[in-house]
Chain A
């Protein structure tokens, strides 16, 4: 009987303590508890921190080639007590959202497509926008009510991949600066070389949605367009008449397909295969963000021929380049304080000391950091990033994307694939497609009661 009593007292004690611990945890999570903010955190003072954190990410290729493990090993030299478990998810955009809704997904992840108003429920704020933007670029993408919940692991500039040798063989000595010049150059490539002038990567899907990234800064030079004005625009797809605008962005694709300037059978394109083809000069150009540059270089024996140029569109005599964060690190709001601290240390180290961004050919996230040489052609262009949406309108673009099902910059691949299909089969004209988009856009504006101001 005595033994039983002892056990029950012990149990009671343990339960009381664990209850108390729970109480502490939940109280602290509201205001980050003892965890310092990103800018307060001094990495050199925390080298004896002990914790095990889990990091889920989408870089399956980097997990396979050992880059991730190498970076963590490097990290563990400075912070031997922090054990980082990693999981690479292939279908990240979808799976991460499902994981997120369960709450128990780990400590660090890349922010999937959530509404900004939900950010504080899921993630721990890193710091105020004011403090953070003094040290880092592109941190305003996941800002809500003055707090930043995400920091990009690298930044991309939006331009066009091309093969320098193909351009030279076709006799193109000056990079194109307007859609019309670009289409003329594609025709030259077709006439004078054996290369595919423009490879669409239609079958992969997301490579088509990549065309959306040029809307706004590139198409009209306005960095408030994408997140602020776009949803309030009555007819965003009308032809401005001067070779700019969304109209002429997709016109490049439509005309290239209609004039047979793309691959022979677009339905069986192969993403892995196209990297080597661009490298070897079997492909002239591909419209993709700068993140793809490093992969194209690695895919063959002639990395020196892979080039990157600003998007061929000139607004008011100037070429604009849109740069912005890629996926953003975030930290689970429901993690324990120890894990939050360890996660913050890990994220800060990854951002500032891992060189991951540079190695991937990314535009620097740390203010004043070094930029890879590939951005040489961007001299003279105005590099800017999309401004965040206005207060109170943070969810508008997501809502419009979902309601209209056009999903600009949010996986709306099928709408761009439709352009290719229409141009190839002649089933619709570009104006038919734009008319349909405008109708959907306006219906969504009406449904969501979003005012039409422009």
Chain B
């Protein structure tokens, strides 16, 4: 009965389990096992499968053929795969606008403003709507002679002078980016407000006594204090723009030069049934996002090096 003994006075396994140490281990394991299981089953195992699929020439059903790195070679040699990443530049541009707007409004709204809470709610609201619904809303919003054109008509524009928001290739990606800016800037703003609120009011008072103006307060008090939230928002927006999917998929179905990387991947996986190639695209995109995130981390470390 002493075979399982642990420690000097030869405790049995049962005794150890009932001791304080054993209970600690037991409780920790019991609490962790469910989240870890979920993470493993729904994230890591499917991801490992995706990596495996990327080495095969396969459809969803039917036989699979191992092709080694051929799928990866195709991802890099096809113009539609990497060409689609160029569209991400539009979305990155959009995220700059989105973050600037969010930061500007957050700074204003974190001081005492009349109807501040109303505006906060008003601007956060789009984030609560389902992305597919937003797609349908904007499809009608941009339709010739519908909402957007009518509103612009009230402002004195002639319908003949207005472009076709989704048909004109020089502008349709900007229209789509507009929808995602509209949807996400409220959320960024609320995150910024939360961070700004945590700055102690005494700092502003002290700064004001020293003669700092509003902009200097923003530059030297607010910005350094919300650094980590700012970096997080930038990283989320940039990786979000690399994987933009809902606006082009719902509004234009990726047609007319609006197919982002994800939309192309979806088409290849589901219409053309090249599951292996699509998996390789997914893995390549993941590595790109990794690299971009690390670069951003390094960049911000450099930018904020004097504020620590």
Q: Which of A77-85, A239-247, A404-412 contacts B (4 or more CB under 8 A)?
A: A404-412
Chain B residues 146-182 with CB under 8 Å of chain A are 146, 164, 166-167, 169, 172
Pick from A113, A122, A202, A412: contact of B255, CB below 8 A. Answer: A202
Let me know if A421 and B62 touch, CB within 8 A.
no
Let me know if B255 and A417 touch, CB within 8 A.
yes
Q: Which of B216-224, B233-241, B265-273 contacts A (4 or more CB under 8 A)?
A: B265-273
Supposing A94-B270, A205-B253, A402-B274 touch, asked if A268 and B61 sit within 8 A by C-beta, the answer is no
Q: Could you tell me the distance between the alpha carbons of A266 and B255 in the complex, rounded to whole angstroms?
A: 11
Let me know if A402 and B252 touch, CB within 8 A.
no
Let me know if B62 and A267 touch, CB within 8 A.
no
Chain B residues with Cβ under 8 A from A117's Cβ? 62
Q: How far is the CB of B165 from chain A (nearest CB, A)?
A: 8
Q: Which of B9-17, B27-35, B137-145, B207-215 contacts A (4 or more CB under 8 A)?
A: B137-145
Q: Which of A9-17, A59-67, A96-104, A315-323 contacts B (4 or more CB under 8 A)?
A: A96-104
Chain B residues with Cβ under 8 A from A265's Cβ? 143-144, 164, 166-167
Binding site for A on B (CB under 8 A): 59-62, 139-140, 142-144, 146, 164, 166-167, 169, 172, 252-257, 259, 267-268, 270-274
Q: Closest A-chain residue to B141, C-beta based? A: A268
Let me know if A118 and B62 touch, CB within 8 A.
yes
Let me know if A267 and B257 touch, CB within 8 A.
no
Interface string of A255-275 (1 = CB under 8 A from B): 000000000111110100000
Q: Could you tell me the distance between the alpha carbons of A253 and B224 in the complex, rounded to whole angstroms?
A: 59
Supposing A402-B273, A407-B271 touch, asked if A417 and B144 sit within 8 A by C-beta, the answer is no
Chain B residues with Cβ under 8 A from A379's Cβ? none
Chain B residues with Cβ under 8 A from A401's Cβ? 272
Let me know if B60 and A97 touch, CB within 8 A.
yes
**12 examples of A-B residue contacts, CB within 8 angstroms:** A97-B60, A114-B61, A117-B62, A205-B253, A265-B143, A267-B256, A402-B272, A402-B274, A413-B255, A417-B256, A421-B256, A424-B167
Let me know if A425 and B271 touch, CB within 8 A.
no
Q: Could you tell me the distance between the alpha carbons of A21 and B256 in the complex, rounded to whole angstroms?
A: 57
Chain B residues with Cβ under 8 A from A382's Cβ? none
Chain A residues with Cβ under 8 A from B142's Cβ? 268
Q: How far is the CB of A329 from chain B (nearest CB, A)?
A: 19
Pick from B140, B172, B267: contact of A267, CB below 8 A. Answer: B172
Q: Could you tell me the distance between the alpha carbons of A300 and B272 in the complex, rounded to whole angstroms?
A: 37
Supposing A402-B273, A417-B256, A421-B255 touch, asked if A97 and B61 sit within 8 A by C-beta, the answer is yes
Apart from A101-B61, A122-B61, A202-B255, 12 more pairs, CB < 8 Å? A97-B61, A98-B60, A266-B167, A267-B172, A268-B166, A407-B271, A412-B271, A413-B253, A414-B271, A417-B255, A421-B256, A421-B257
Let me know if A414 and B167 touch, CB within 8 A.
no
Q: Could you tell me the distance between the alpha carbons of A180 and B253 in the complex, rounded to whole angstroms?
A: 31
Interface string of A101-134 (1 = CB under 8 A from B): 1000000000001110110001000000000000
Q: Secondary structure of the B side of the interface?
A: loop
Most chain B beta-carbon neighbours within 10 Å: one of A267, A407, A414: A267
Chain A residues with Cβ under 8 A from B267's Cβ? 414
How many Cβ-Cβ contacts under 8 Å join chain A to chain B? 75
Chain A residues with Cβ under 8 A from B167's Cβ? 265-268, 424
Chain A residues with Cβ under 8 A from B59's Cβ? 115, 402
Let me know if A205 and B143 touch, CB within 8 A.
no
- Ordered nearest first, which 4 A-B pairs have the shortest CB separation? A267-B166, A268-B143, A265-B144, A267-B167
Q: How far is the CB of A146 from chain B (nearest CB, A)?
A: 21
Q: Is A203 in contact with chain B by the CB < 8 A criterion?
A: yes
Most chain A beta-carbon neighbours within 10 Å: one of B61, B62, B164, B166: B61
Pick from B256, B257, B271: contact of A411, CB below 8 A. Answer: B271
Chain A residues with Cβ under 8 A from B273's Cβ? 113, 402
Q: Could you tell me the distance between the alpha carbons of A407 and B139 in the complex, rounded to whole angstroms?
A: 27
Q: Could you tell me the distance between the alpha carbons of A114 and B142 in the complex, rounded to whole angstroms?
A: 38
Let me know if B271 and A267 touch, CB within 8 A.
no
Supposing A101-B60, A115-B61, A265-B144 touch, asked if A203 and B253 sit within 8 A by C-beta, the answer is yes
Chain A, interface residues (CB within 8 Å), range: 20 to 34
Q: How far is the CB of A448 from chain B (nearest CB, A)?
A: 11
Let me know if B271 and A114 touch, CB within 8 A.
no
Chain A residues 372-413 with CB under 8 Å of chain B are 401-402, 405, 407, 410-413
Most chain B beta-carbon neighbours within 10 Å: one of A100, A113, A122: A113
Pick from A268, A405, A413: contact of B144, CB below 8 A. Answer: A268
Q: How far is the CB of B267 from chain A (nearest CB, A)?
A: 7
Chain A residues with Cβ under 8 A from B140's Cβ? 268
Chain A residues with Cβ under 8 A from B166's Cβ? 265, 267-268
Q: Could you tell me the distance between the alpha carbons of A212 and B254 in the complex, rounded to whole angstroms?
A: 20
Chain A residues with Cβ under 8 A from B164's Cβ? 265, 267
Q: Could you tell me the distance between the alpha carbons of A94 and B255 in the complex, rounded to whole angstroms?
A: 19
Q: Could you tell me the distance between the alpha carbons of A104 and B256 in the complex, rounded to whole angstroms?
A: 39
Let me know if A267 and B255 touch, CB within 8 A.
yes
Chain B residues with Cβ under 8 A from A98's Cβ? 60
Q: How far is the CB of A283 from chain B (nearest CB, A)?
A: 16
Chain B residues with Cβ under 8 A from A425's Cβ? 169
Chain A residues with Cβ under 8 A from B143's Cβ? 265, 268, 270
Chain B residues with Cβ under 8 A from A115's Cβ? 59, 61-62
Chain B residues with Cβ under 8 A from A412's Cβ? 271
Q: Could you tell me the distance between the alpha carbons of A118 and B58 in the complex, rounded to whole angstroms?
A: 14
Chain A residues with Cβ under 8 A from B144's Cβ? 264-265, 268
Most chain A beta-carbon neighbours within 10 Å: one of B59, B164, B166, B271: B271
Q: Closest A-chain residue to B269, C-beta based? A: A94
Chain B residues with Cβ under 8 A from A410's Cβ? 271
Q: How far is the CB of A435 from chain B (nearest CB, A)?
A: 16
Chain B residues with Cβ under 8 A from A264's Cβ? 144
Chain A residues 273-314 with CB under 8 Å of chain B are none
Q: How far is the CB of A273 from chain B (nearest CB, A)?
A: 10
Let me know if B274 and A414 touch, CB within 8 A.
no
Pick from B60, B62, B139, B255: contact of A205, CB below 8 A. Answer: B255
Most chain B beta-carbon neighbours within 10 Å: one of A98, A100, A407, A414: A414
Supposing A265-B144, A267-B167, A268-B166 touch, asked if A414 and B255 sit within 8 A by C-beta, the answer is yes
Chain B residues with Cβ under 8 A from A405's Cβ? 268, 272, 274
Chain B residues with Cβ under 8 A from A421's Cβ? 255-257
Q: Could you tell me the distance between the alpha carbons of A246 and B267 in the complex, rounded to whole angstroms?
A: 24
Q: How far is the CB of B295 from chain A (nearest CB, A)?
A: 33
Chain B residues with Cβ under 8 A from A402's Cβ? 59, 272-274
Chain A residues with Cβ under 8 A from B254's Cβ? 414
Q: How far is the CB of B127 from chain A (nearest CB, A)?
A: 25
Q: Could you tell me the distance between the alpha carbons of A115 and B60 in the complex, rounded to whole angstroms?
A: 11
Q: How far is the CB of B69 from chain A (nearest CB, A)?
A: 17
